Amino acid sequence: DTEVTQTPKHLVMGMTNKKSLKCEQHMGHRAMYWYKQKAKKPPELMFVYSYEKLSINESVPSRFSPECPNSSLLNLHLHALQPEDSALYLCASSQGRTGYNYGYTFGSGTRLTVV
Amino acid sequence: GDSVTQMEGPVTLSEEACLTINCTYTATGYPSLFWYVQYPGEGLQLLLKATKADDKGSNKGFEATYRKETTSFHLEKGSVQVSDSAVYFCALSDVGGGSNYKLTFGKGTLLTVNP
């Protein structure tokens, strides 16, 4: 299995809703990432988990809450989002430090619309 | 800090034309370099990579050579196809300067290939 699987593919939520994005990989990768991508822009890093511990939080608002229940799963909990949070949310994984050499595997993303 | 500069385009070519997308970088350490491709409505796919000076990455007819003296990693293809239409991102990963596995992206180049 050489994929990163993200669910759902599309999500529409109101500003008062609570929802979660899910990401799963079975490649044995020990680093997992959340990126946010607005239209016609490059991905922006949000969070990095290394060996199931949060190692980087790029000053993301608290309405985004990451969780790494185990080495294969990564969640992003969403609460009280704003319309400007509408974007493509990408999950990625890498073989820890060797992501430096081997690259990162991205999922196909969740397209989020906040209404 | 680390940065990647790539020609923003858009680039429009006819089928079988030659492609070059320029990419230059600045980094505090000794980075690995990547090209990612994003097809419409999809996530990012690793196209090719190079981890040290003079390495040539290649895949699907695309090539890029890691040039440390000019800090460049230009993407080339001798004959493009309609199916190559996508957004191309140059990126680097640098473990120096506390970057801690982060990928730094260029702004992306939209390529459209017409039949």
B37-86: pLDDT as tens digits: 999 988 999 999 998 899 999 999 999 999 999 999 999 999 999 999 99
H/E stretch holding A102 reads: helix A99-102
| Buried b or exposed e, range A57-95, using 16+ CB within 10 angstroms | eeebeeebebebeebbebbbebeebeeebbbbbbbbbbb
Residue B4: per-residue pLDDT: 96
Q: Write out the two tokens for A94.
A: 């890498």
Query: In angstroms, rounded to a whole number, what is the distance separating the alpha carbons of residues B113 and A22?
Result: 35
| CA geometry: angle A110, B11, B39, nearest 5 deg | 25
Q: Is A9's Cβ below 8 Å from some Cβ in B? A: no
Question: Is the predicted pLDDT of residue B23 greater than 50, yes or no?
Answer: yes
Q: pLDDT per position in chain A (115 positions), as tens? A: 679 999 999 999 999 999 999 999 999 888 899 999 999 899 999 999 988 999 888 889 999 999 999 999 999 999 999 999 999 999 999 886 655 667 789 999 999 999 9
Residue A72: per-residue pLDDT: 95
CA distance A38 to chain B (A): 12
Mark residue A47 as left, alpha or beta (left: phi above 0; alpha: psi -120 to 50; beta: remaining): beta
Q: Which amino acid is present at A21?
A: L
CA distance B45 to chain A (A): 7
Minimum CA–CA partner of B4 in chain A: A42
Minimum CA–CA partner of B88 in chain A: A42
Query: In angstroms, rounded to a whole number, what is the distance separating the alpha carbons of residues A78 and A114?
Result: 11
Q: Which amino acid is present at A90?
A: L
Cα torsion through A6, A8, A11, A17, rounded to 10? -100
Determine, for residues A50 and B101 on separate chains, whether the beta-carbon distance falls below 8 Å: yes
Residue B98: per-residue pLDDT: 46
Q: Which amino acid is present at A2?
A: T
Question: Is the predicted pLDDT of residue B97 greater than 80, yes or no?
Answer: no
Question: Is the predicted pLDDT of residue B100 greater than 80, yes or no?
Answer: no
User: What's the Cα-to-Cα distance from B99 to each of A57, A79, A97, B27, B82, rounded to whole Å?
Assistant: 12, 29, 11, 10, 37
Split at pLDDT 50, 70, 90, the class of B29 is: confident
